[in-house]
Amino acid sequence: MKKSNLARLICMVLALTVLLTANVFAIGTDQVSVIYDPVSSITYDFNDGAVPGLFALPTSNNAKYGKMTFSEEVEGDRYLIFEDGNLNNKGQGRTDYSIQVCHAPMSIEYDFCIPEYTKTAAGDNIPAMILFITNYSSPGVKGTQGSGKTAMSLTCDKDENGDLKFSVVVSGAAIEGVFEDPLSFDTWYRVKIDAHAEKYQAVVSLYDSSGELIDKTGTITVANSTYSTDVTPDGFVGLSFATGSQTANVSAEEQSKIYIDNFTFTRERFSFSSKPAISQDGDEITASVVVRNEIAEETTAPALILALFDAKGKLVGISVNDSEPIAARTDPGLPTTTNVAWPNGFALPAEATVTCTLPKGDAATASAYLWTDVDTGMQPYCVVSDILTVSE
């Protein structure tokens, strides 16, 4: 390693012994991921007239009636329209947008507009955008919900004054203290959902059409009684657009609709099953971490750094493993129609175990860190390991 890089590395290690790693979902000591090196966003603007392959209709009773069409082109722009596709259906007409499998944190952004609609009864005919966090229990079948349940609903109800009331609903109750001011019908807004599938967590941010933040939630734990956070899911996240009346035989004029445009999905390049582990075997100190490659190309793991300190906190040893290759995750491909299998089947991320080893020497404690690399960004990818007290 070049001396300049080594000096920079030592400075960063010392700094990290003082500063805790920042984290977008930092709510506990087991939290490991931060978003510093996301995969380039996948964006759909719907102007090409084709439905992206990510769209799929599961065969559940209240999802299969959802209808999705394109608006008429206006000045070169068009958007998607979601509405109930069967007026005799006694459940909501729902169309599911199945997002790529991803263990790491991800963000989902899109523009939406709610046309004014006739509310037939309390709690009836209310359009909603529903987030699913699910265990992908049926490998290879695109759109299958598996054991996942409704994690969170973004409901668009009419308030007592007839204005649009935007609410984030979890386990049947709205999150209080946010989105208290009414919105307007027939007006475009942008919503961003930061989601962590493995931790059943989400943050919702709402923006006006100019991009100015209207309001946002804190970190929401979206688990409910239908599933347990003790069971780590496979990381499948989906969206559902629910419209239509709960009552059969309503007229077409009473059907609510949701307009969607400019959909963007961003996921992190790597994910981690845990923070770095550190152990001692005789005179050897070893750090290790399992790194999962979330992208469909071979890559190099972030740099694992093992640092040893004496009783006064002085750095007395350092080792870096910054060249561990990780195979490409099999690209599952995108179905070209609904209710079809992934072209390449269900693909878990490729994994590699990255390790560093040092003789204990004069060390009193040891710590391990995972950073992007040692040559450019040197930004933390996950929280520091537990501090190991080196035995005498």
Report the SS3 class of residue 358.
Answer: strand
Query: Of 168 and 196, which is predicted with more confidence?
Result: 168
Tell whether the model's pLDDT for residue 58 goes beyond 50: no
Tell whether the model's pLDDT for residue 230 goes beyond 80: no
Q: 101: pLDDT confidence band, cut at 50, 70 and 90?
A: low
Q: 69: pLDDT confidence band, cut at 50, 70 and 90?
A: confident
Average pLDDT, the chain: 75
Bridge partners, residue 171, by sequence: none
The predicted model gives 129-144 an average pLDDT of 56
Left if phi > 0, otherwise alpha if psi is -120 to 50, otherwise beta: which for 172?
A: left
- CA gap 286, 224 in Å, rounded: 39
The two structure tokens encoding residue 199: 């931790």
Query: Of 26 and 330, which is predicted with more confidence?
Result: 330
Containing H/E element for 10? helix 3-16
Q: What percent of the chain has pLDDT over 90?
A: 28
Q: 278: pLDDT confidence band, cut at 50, 70 and 90?
A: very high
Tell whether the model's pLDDT for residue 262 goes beyond 50: yes
pLDDT digits (tens, 9 = 90+) for 368-386: 998 887 776 677 887 888 9
The two structure tokens encoding residue 254: 């009473």
Residue 357 confidence (pLDDT): 95
pTM above 0.85, yes or no: no
- CA gap 173, 151 in Å, rounded: 12
The predicted model gives 125-137 an average pLDDT of 74
From 269, 327, 326, select the one nearest 294 (Cα to Cα).
269
Q: 21: pLDDT confidence band, cut at 50, 70 and 90?
A: very low
Query: Of 96 and 70, which is predicted with more confidence?
Result: 70
Report the SS3 class of residue 344.
Answer: coil
Tell whether the model's pLDDT for residue 217 goes beyond 90: yes
Tell whether the model's pLDDT for residue 282 goes beyond 50: yes
Bridge partners, residue 169, by sequence: 153, 174
How many helices and strands in the chain, by DSSP H and E?
1, 26
DSSP classification of residue 77: B
Bridge partners, residue 305, by sequence: 320, 369
